[in-house]
Amino acid sequence: DAKTTQPTSMDCAEGRAANLPCNHSTISGNEYVYWYRQIHSQGPQYIIHGLKNNETNEMASLIITEDRKSSTLILPHATLRDTAVYYCIVRLSGGTSYGKLTFGQGTILTVHP
């Protein structure tokens, strides 16, 4: 699976959009980009995933650049409860992959009043 690079930490004001970047310059054509978040002492929560098109769901939007070498997770109106560690994961789809998720260090997002 391709390696990802994320900033160690970010701050965001409550009510504003939080834009979390992820670099995955070695991504291959059949690897998906997944985003999870983890609040202390809880299990990771799935947020969104995509291959090459931009995706949106009730939690967030995922913007993937045309060359697929980077992506941005957007939380449109951050709340205090969005404070968590956010993980960007690139994973092979299908083939011999058995679904293992490799979590890096992630980005600590702090939303403040």
**Binding positions for another protein, rule: CB under 8 A:** 32, 34, 41-46, 49, 51, 93-95, 97-105
| Shortest distance in whole angstroms from residue 58 CB to another protein | 15
The closest of 75, 62, 6 to 34, measured between CA atoms, is 62
By C-beta, is 18 or 48 nearer to another protein?
48
By C-beta, is 65 or 97 nearer to another protein?
97
By C-beta, is 36 or 82 nearer to another protein?
36
Per the CB < 8 A criterion, the answer to whether 47 and 61 are in contact is no
Show the tokens assigned to 25.
């310059």
| Shortest distance in whole angstroms from residue 91 CB to another protein | 8
Dihedral Cα 100, 38, 62, 96, nearest 10 deg:
0
